[in-house]
Chains A and B, each alone.
Chain A
Amino acid sequence: MAEKGAAGVAPDDRCAIGISFGNSYSSIACTIDDSPVVIANEDGDRQIPTVLSYVDGEEYTGNQAKALLVRNPKNTVVAFKDFLGQEFKSIDPTHCHAAAHPEDKNGVISFTIQDKAEGEPSTLSVSEISTRYLRRLVQSASDYIGKKVTSAVVTVPTNFSEKQREALTKAAQDADLEILQLINEPIASVLAYDARPEAKLEDKIIVVADLGGTRSDVAVIASRGGLYTLLATAHDYEFAGVQLDKVLMDHFAKEFMKKNANVDPRENARSLAKLKAESEATKKALSIGTNANFSVESLAEGIDFQMTINRLRYETIARKVFDGFNRLVESVVKKAGLDVLDIDEVILSGGTSHTPRIATNLRSIFPGTTNILAPSTNPSALNPSELQARGAALQASLIQEYESDDIDQSTHPAVTTVKHISNAVGVLTLSEDGETFTPVIAPETAVPARRTVHVAAPKDGGSVLIKVVEGGTHIKVTKPEPKPKENGTKEDEDEDSDFDSEEEEEEHREKVWKIGSTLAEAAIKDIKKGGKVEVTITVANDLSVTITAREVGGKGGVRGTLKAP
């Protein structure tokens, strides 16, 4: 958003990509014929570890650098992205423990590493580390596209401060990369789904659970006519991929110690590094298969170690962490003032989202109507690791023809901050069980907004009264009769409650519309038998409302305007 025009590139000379820059992994993506493609680097990796390492003056990134954590931890930098633009005292260096340590150098977070073949070690700021890493990412993209990449859209967490955004923009500029725009990570994931040709434009409430390596971020988003509004976010550093690695590390270490008493591979730095690397690999294998191998040559004191683990066992020992993800998702829905019944879609994003159990758990939290987009629960789901890079690439292709001034002005708060209606606006229709509310414009829709619905007129035709009203939702809880539960509803049938027989009181919860104040009435006369009425409601910037109603296929119709409140 805060694009500083210094490194502006003329729109004609641009070659733009999308970058998802993470603490653990980064990805690069471009668009080919308007569809996003995630680019593999020269090692063939699409998820490129955010690691930078030096051996004998030679620079390594990605998986090559990650492998060097065992032999060369001191000259290897990991998990540095969240340090950009931060004060030294506010960072958490836990994840750097097994690699180069961050230090405070005149108020700048720095690392001291031997990056030259000879001579003294260099002290490099986190910004310089990021610049070098980004340069390599961009190089990989340029090699693939066959053209020099000049610009990029980069994804950032929603709680990234303005200072961090500026620091990232600066680090990119130093790598000769123009930042077109910084976009929020959850929004990039939503865009990756919404831009698919088969996607339908709908008003819906989406939860994006971005489960990463060192952090998990969950966001609730209102998607209204393709405009996205963040309703609530939460960030968690206790429940993420590394905690799952830890569970496996402890498990394998204990098994190792059963066979080799008094040798704890966690007590030696090098053994620990090997244990960690292989545990992560085993975890990934368990997301794909139901059995995985763990084997490390010379794990500790020259002893090889090998064993297998099945998914069920892993899910048992990792249950605590999985439960943490559930609580995190539930807490954000609550924070947004919503109920799980209000959620239409859950998008699982981030590397940890490949875990089948997490999707299964979320499936049981949400009602059957909620679409859970994860590979194990939905065959049409996209790869969770690729979503953000795809979203960024799409946004990059949309805005690369714009002048950077245009982008700045369009993303200005004057444009982005608008009123959102709190209640739904809809029409009342009559059915057997009285008046029902048909929402036309959903709550939390940004104005100006325009929506059209077709409502059926009474069977015999005739004249009708269109009543436009406000509506709010609330959750109706009905406790069924104590003994039989013949509710006649098909609510809970698709819950696969294998072993989460929670203490549900078998109550039936449903979302109902509460009819609010009437806004206007309009009459449509002499409708044909079986006819329909088209109602279009437009809410303007100042919340004035224009209503038009006419019979489908008919002429004329009624039109009226309500003044702004």
Chain B
Amino acid sequence: PSLPEGWAAEKDFKPIGAITASTQRTIEPVGPHFLAHARRARHKRTFSEDDRI
């Protein structure tokens, strides 16, 4: 949508809510993307840190 008149926020960003619902589930330990996920999880890296390596 277009920016309404008079909308303002600090650094143009206004946090309003948070994610409401989630469930605990198990991912299948299979496939290249899982192995990448496991590597990140074990080294406690974030996506962007992982990208840089």
Does A257 make an interface contact (CB < 8 A)?
Answer: no
The closest CB in chain B to the CB of A191 belongs to B31
Contacting pair B31 A395 (CB below 8 A): yes
Q: Are A227 and B34 in contact (CB under 8 A)?
A: yes
- Pairs A–B under 8 Å by Cβ, sample size 21: A184-B30, A195-B31, A228-B31, A229-B25, A409-B42, A416-B27, A417-B25, A418-B25, A420-B25, A464-B3, A465-B4, A470-B19, A517-B16, A519-B15, A521-B9, A525-B3, A558-B13, A559-B11, A560-B11, A563-B18, A565-B18
Query: Range of interface residues on chain B?
Result: 35 or more
Contact indicator B19/A543 (Cβ below 8 Å) = yes
- Judged by DSSP, the binding face of A is strand
Q: Which residue of B lies closest to A516 (CB)?
A: B20
Produce 1/0 per residue, B1-42, CB < 8 A to A. Answer: 111100101011111111111111111111111110111111
Within residues 405 to 434 of chain A, which ones have a CB less than 8 A from any CB in chain B?
409-411, 413, 415-423, 425, 428-430
A52 on the interface (CB 8 Å rule)? no
Contact A417 B16 (CB under 8 A): no
CB contacts (< 8 Å) of B33 on chain A: these are 201, 225-227
Beyond A410-B38, A450-B47, A520-B13, is A422–B21 a contact (Cβ under 8 Å)? yes
Chain A residues positioned under 8 Å from B30 (CB to CB): 183-184, 187-188, 191, 228, 391, 395
User: Quick check: B47 and A415 within 8 Å, CB to CB?
Assistant: no
Instruction: Return the 3 tightest CB-CB contacts between A and B, nearest first.
Output: A226-B33, A560-B13, A422-B21
A420: B residues at CB distance < 8 A: 22-25
Inter-chain contacts of A417 with B (CB < 8 A)? 24-27
Residue on B nearest A225 in the bound complex, by CB = B33
Taken together as a complex, chains A and B put the C-alpha atoms of A181 and B29 apart, in Å, by 9
Taking a contact as CB atoms closer than 8 A, the residue among A399, A423, A540 that contacts B21 in the complex is A423
With contacts A398-B32, A446-B25 known, is A520 near B16, CB below 8 A? yes
B1, A519: Cβ atoms closer than 8 Å: no
Q: CA of A422 to CA of B9 in the docked complex: distance in angstroms?
A: 29
